[in-house]
Amino acid sequence: MIKDDPFGVMASWNETIHFCGWPGVLCGRRHLRVVSLNLTSLKLVGSLPSHIGNLSFLKALDRRNNSFSGNIPITLSNATNIVYIFASINKLTGKVPDLGKLEKLQEFTAGSNHLGEGNVFDLKFLSSLGNATGLETLDLCGNNFGGLLPTSITNLSRNLIYLSLCGNQISGFIPSGISNLISLQVLLLFQNKISEEIPLEIGYLGNLRLLGLIENNFFGKIPPSLGNLTLLLKLGLGGNYLHDTIPASLGKCQSLELLDLSHNNLSGHIPKEVLQLSSLSLFLDLSHNQFIGSIPKEVRYLKNLGILDLSYNSLSGPIPPELGSCVYLEILNLTNNNLEGPIPPALANLRGMEFLELSHNHLIGQIPTFLKDFKFLQNLNLSYNEFEGAVPTTGIFNNTSSISIAANKKLCGGIPELKLPECNTTKSKKKNSEGYLKIVIPLIFGIVGLTVVVFILCHRWLRRQRKGPFPNLIENPILRVSYHSLFKCTNGFSEENLLGVGGFGAVYKGSFDHDRTVFAVKVLDLYTVELLKVLLLSVRC
């Protein structure tokens, strides 16, 4: 190994390596035997020399994270002993040459460059890699490759573990022969233009851990065969045109940590089998679909989940209190649904919450005061609901840039910056009581006064009558007289027999025909009596 080597070149040699003005030509004496060339993260520029393939003993070429430009030299294929090529994160351009002679190649990574020309011949070199029977890693993510995904990928090494073609302009479809890659653990094809249906043969890749197909043009149904991938850790199918329901068979993926099915046309109910995947810990994203029905109570099984996004669907019913069991939730997004009812008190358990989005639903009731105690809460959106009552003033509610409560017309209070009306609940009750008293007290005094006047008049009539009919009535105060008799004795309650009108009704004079006994009859106004009862009851309350 070269001592004090500023370029990190590791080599075994017969004679000294000479650098002829890097970046330029790497030259050596006749018996040079470079085994490994490590140029990682040295901020080097320029291009690799065209005669790098002359390093016949080269087994590893590592030039990651520099600024190399230009094409990959065609002569690289002459380095027949090479095992590892690491060229990621540079500025390489052009086509990748035929690598058919590199039969010992095990890893080829050239991601995050500008390779490819966006045409149909860009991936032609992949067929030449079929000779590398020991190939385990192929990473070409983040380039400019175009054309159809070649069926030749199905002829790659059966030892292939990692295949990444993401972030290109690749179109076409995934060939069903993908099932030949029996050792594959990582398949990343996201952010391309690949279309047609996801082949059910992917479900035969029993060793698969990561499957990333997001942001393509896939359509059709999610193949139920994906449920066979019991070792799968991450599944990303978002940003496509998939439709129909989520297959319940995904509930068999008992190791799944991440599931992204967002931005599709999926419909139906959220299967409880998926929500019973207690292994989900990173996030579950079902947003921007057409799911209906209520949020299943099985959500309580997601005790380790960090992010749950069910936004932009047609979910209805209340927010299930079982969400309170998801104590590790940091982000909960339920915006743009048809959820109703109050925020359940059980959500007070979610003290690690950082972002809570509940806007554009039909939620009611008061804003829970426990939200002000969420120390990590950075964003709270409750806008466009039907919340009412006082808004808290402490915690996150003291920062207008962190909360949104727009279009809740019945809210009041809060900090002045929210410009909400004052909460006048106590004052209103006091004013209502004062209003009732202003009506009831004069009415009571009027009734008492009228009663006194009627009593005095009746007493005078008693004294004037020599025959004393009224004393007889006092001695025998319970006198049963029919309504017909009263009607006759008062001449049909005529106005000429009317003695006066009070708050509870009118008083009439009457006399019996058989003994000429004179008496007074009060006819109650039942409407006034009932009104008085209501007013007195209101004052008492």
Q: What is the pLDDT of residue 210?
A: 98
Of the candidates 319, 317, 375, the residue with the CA atom closest to the CA atom of residue 350: 375
**Amino acid in position 389:** G
Return the higher-pLDDT residue of 454 and 30: 454
Sign of the dihedral through C-alpha 146, 147, 151, 156: negative
Secondary structure of 278-347 in the HEC alphabet? Answer: CCCCCEEECCCCEEEECCCHHHHHCCCCCEEECCCCEEEEECCHHHHHCCCCCEEECCCCEEEECCCHHH
pLDDT digits (tens, 9 = 90+) for 398-434: 999 999 999 999 999 999 999 999 998 654 444 455 5
pLDDT digits (tens, 9 = 90+) for 172-195: 999 999 999 999 999 999 999 999
Return the higher-pLDDT residue of 216 and 87: 216
Report how far apart the first and last C-alpha atoms of the chain are (Å, whole number).
Answer: 95
Least confident of 138-142, 231-235, 356-360, 486-490: 486-490
Q: What is the pLDDT of residue 158?
A: 97
Of the candidates 264, 367, 354, the residue with the CA atom closest to the CA atom of residue 308: 354
Q: In the predicted model, what is the mean pLDDT of residues 203-215?
A: 98
Q: How confident is the model at residue 87 (pLDDT cuts 50, 70, 90)?
A: confident
Q: What is the DSSP string of 377-388?
A: --EEE--SSEEE
Chain centre to alpha carbon of residue 411: 24
Q: Mention every residue, 6+ apart, whose C-beta is less than 8 A from residue 381.
A: 335, 356, 357, 358, 359, 403, 404
**Amino acid in position 319:** I
Least confident of 83-87, 302-306, 355-359, 369-373: 83-87
pLDDT digits (tens, 9 = 90+) for 25-60: 333 333 344 344 444 443 444 466 565 655 554 555
Q: Alpha-carbon distance 323 to 104, whole Å? A: 53
CB 27 within 8 A of CB 18: yes
Of the candidates 314, 366, 373, the residue with the CA atom closest to the CA atom of residue 349: 373
Strands 107-109 and 84-86: parallel
Q: Go through the domains of the chain in sequence order and give each one's CATH number.
A: 425-540 (3.30.200)
Other beta carbons within 10 Å of 132:
24
What secondary structure letter does DSSP report for 205?
Answer: -
CB 194 within 8 A of CB 184: no
